[in-house]
Structure 1
Amino acid sequence: MFEGFTTTDIETSGARIHLRHGGSGPPLLLLHGNPATHVTWHRIANRLAERYTVVATDLRGYGDSVGPEDGGPRHENYSFRAMAQDQVEVMRALGFDRFYVAGHDRGARTTHRLCLDHPERVLKAAVLDILPSQYVWTHVDKKWATDSWHWTFMIQPAPFPEQLMAGVPADWFMRFKLSKNGRGLDFFPKEVFDEYVRCFTWKTIHASCEDYRACATIDLELDNADIERGNMVKAPLLVLWGRHGAVAGKGDVLSIWQERTELPVTGAATESGHYVPEEAPDDTYDWFVRFFR
């Protein structure tokens, strides 16, 4: 995985971000989701590096990145605004003021916020298997609460969810969490699954809970404020989602995103569940190459 890539850490104003970068060409930032790391891009990173300068990071607190121990009184230290700021500073440190960006799951939410807060930085953006956070919180139903139980569990006050998540073996929890959409674990190579387990430490557990708490508080406030001001995504946006995942059952995905963007949205469902880059790597790669021109 990531053959020929350089591994490094970059200090931002609020965190230490672990990353790999390699390749040549236009800069393409790749952001992962929960409970994964930058390794989520292992099936396509090397192919993309033949066309782009690929930068794959661990979000603050996830993987081998380190964020603040204190999430802040309003969990602002783990907001998508804070995570987006990290990525701007990482790319600047690597010499890139403007770049392409693609994110899956929490990384896609970071990508959305990056587009809103730093429109001058984003050339084009792709979000994989999410709907806007504000839309999710305002369209809750029984099916969503059942399928996405971790959203409401992880926002409970610390250290309740942290203690429960850390109270079982990391391997057991990861198997349960990554297979919850009913599609099994076969698309995760052993070395990838083992890497996710290795990184599932107290640091990551606490950071991920703070991430979800922020999503339900400060992030929701910021999203509502953007809607009131009419602040929309200005960059061209690609939206991909799994045909067999939860997002597909939440409505017309492209139309929902079109309400948040100034330019026409492009994209489609892939033959996958939630983990689009790992379940449908060829489709993901083909869409990226067509879109990030």
Structure 2
Amino acid sequence: MVAVERNGSGPAVLCLHGWPGGPSDYRLLSPLLAAEADVVVPHLLGYADSFEPADAQRPPSDFGRDAQVRMLVELIDSLGLEQPVVVGYDVGATLAVTLGRTIPERLRGIVVGNTLAPSQFGACALDDDHRAEFWYQDFHQLSVCSQLCDGNPAAVRSYLQHFWSHWGNRSDAELTEELVEEYSRPGAFTAALNWYRSGSATLATALSLRGAAELPPPVQVPTTVLWGVQDPLYPRRFAESLDELFPQGSVRVLDGVGHFTPLEAAAEMAEAVRDFLQEK
């Protein structure tokens, strides 16, 4: 069963969280939009209140890109969301892009944090001078990762704190005790790793595209990319060729912003969403 947080009324805004985050990633953005929009924040499969202890024993594919997108399409249908603006960063950005390819005619627009065009995956994520930034995606494939952290609040706090402090650049991007508690429940840390174990993350995508005869198609949905310059995972040079991914897109460069766009640039993200809400 998928848990959902919903706030406000009006045209729909579907907000998709990341790793190592959760629905609380939108605690600053949601209040900024609630007076003019129906802000819907699903807890992705295996995360937060959508997590169940049995999830840790299920196949990783049950929590990968395809499964999450199927869930989101069903959620849009069941909640009757008409022409939502889809918002995302990190895992949520990947899902927003996939939704844009899957149901483009049903979306009003897309607003995402830093992401990659297909032709840039190999050239960027696999570069010798940047490959080490994605070390954790290899580590997440190993059973020892779960053995060290799962159900251990101190280990979970230390592990997640590394990413929140390394990837974030503004004070609003901070690890909360609520998030530590969510990830510390027995099985919850392992369930969250299934995104990576399913082959849905950046590094696996880059490897699968290396030498591919055909790249994934562009997203034919109006899109705004908010590019945080201080994101160590996706440096500014990675923004090249985004018009290839989003032919109807634009890029807004945000100085001083890191990886956690909904928290570090909540006002800028709200403005980008409003632009789509106001279009006729």
TM-score, with normalisation over the residues of structure 2?
A: 0.83
Check whether the contact 2:118–2:216 (CA below 8 A) recurs between aligned residues.
Answer: no
Identity %: 23
1:105 and 2:85 equivalent? no
Q: Is 1:150 aligned to residue 136 of structure 2?
A: yes
Which residue of the other structure, out of 209, 233, 240, is the alignment partner of 2:193? 209
CA distance in 1, matches of 2:213, 2:250: 18
Q: Distance in 2 between matches of 1:265 and 1:287?
A: 10
8 Å contact kept, 2:3–2:43: yes
In structure 2, what is the Cα distance between the partners aligned to 1:97 and 1:182? 33
1:218 is displaced (CA, Å) by 8.0
Q: Structure 1's 286 and 262: CA in aligned 2 closer, same or farther, altered over 3 A?
A: closer
Q: Unaligned regions of 5+ residues in structure 2, if any?
A: none
Report if aligned partners of 2:32, 2:267 keep a CA contact under 8 Å in 1.
Answer: no
Query: Residue 194 of structure 1 corresponds to which residue in structure 2?
Result: 177
Equivalent-residue separation in structure 2 for 1:275 and 1:116 (angstroms): 24
CA deviation digits over 1:118-139, x for unaligned, max 9? 2232221111122247743453
SS in 2 for 1:87: helix
| Residues 100, 264 of structure 1: alpha-carbon distance in 2 compared, 3 angstrom cutoff | closer
Alpha-carbon contact 1:60-1:66 (below 8 Å) kept: yes
Give the structure 1 partner of residue 273 of structure 2.
Answer: 288
Give the count of matched residue pairs: 270
Residue 27 of structure 1 deviates from its aligned partner by: 0.6
State the match for 1:10 in structure 2: none
State TM-score, norm by structure 1: 0.80
Alpha-carbon shift at residue 146 of structure 1 (Å)? 3.0
- Residue 240 in structure 1 maps to residue 188 in structure 2: no
| 3-state SS of paired residue (1:64) | helix
Over residues 138-177 of structure 1, what are the superposed CA-to-partner deviations in whole Å (9 max), with x where a residue is unaligned? Answer: 53124433333212221x24x2221123355322222222
**Residue 164 (str. 1) matches residue 148 (str. 2):** yes
**Map of 1:13 onto structure 2:** none
Distance 1:233 1:225, change over 3 A: farther
1:276 paired to 2:273: no
Match for 1:212: what amino acid? Answer: Y
Query: 2:25 touches 2:262 (CA, 8 Å); kept in 1?
Result: yes
Mapped partners of 1:83, 1:224: distance in 2: 24
Could you say which residue in structure 2 is the equivalent of 1:117? 102
The structure carrying a bigger helix percent of its residues is 2
C-alpha RMSD of matched pairs (Å): 3.0
- Relative to structure 1, the CA distance from residue 160 to residue 62 in structure 2 (aligned partners, 3 Å threshold; closer, same or farther) is same
Deviation, 1:54, is 0.6
Aligned runs of 1:1-293 on 2, under 5 Å?
Answer: 16-66=1-51, 68-70=55-57, 72=59, 75-132=60-117, 135-139=120-124, 140-154=126-140, 156-157=141-142, 159-166=143-150, 168-181=154-167, 183=169, 186-188=171-173, 193-200=176-183, 201-213=185-197, 214-215=199-200, 228=214, 231-246=217-232, 249=235, 251=237, 253=239, 255-293=240-278
Residues 78, 131 of structure 1: alpha-carbon distance in 2 compared, 3 angstrom cutoff: same
Structure 2 CA distance for partners of 1:165 and 1:63, relative to 1, 3 Å: same
Deviations 1:72-116 (A, max 9, x none): 3xx432221211111111121111243110101111111111111
| Shift of residue 206, structure 1, vs aligned partner | 1.6
Higher relative contact order (CA 8 A, sep 6+): 2
Q: Is the 8 A contact 2:169 2:256 kept in 1?
A: no
- Change over 3 Å in CA distance of 1:172–1:222 after alignment to 2: closer
Q: 1:248-277, CA deviations, whole angstroms, 9 ceiling, x for partnerless residues?
A: 525151x42211234243433343111122
Q: Cα distance 1:230–1:257, how it changes in 2: closer, same or farther (>3 A)?
A: same
1:24 CA drift (Å): 1.3
- Larger deviation, residues 213-222 vs 123-132: 213-222
Checking the alignment, whether the CA contact within 8 Å between 2:84 and 2:109 is kept in structure 1 is yes
**Cα–Cα, structure 1 residues 44 and 229, in superposed 2: closer, same or farther, change >3 Å?**
closer
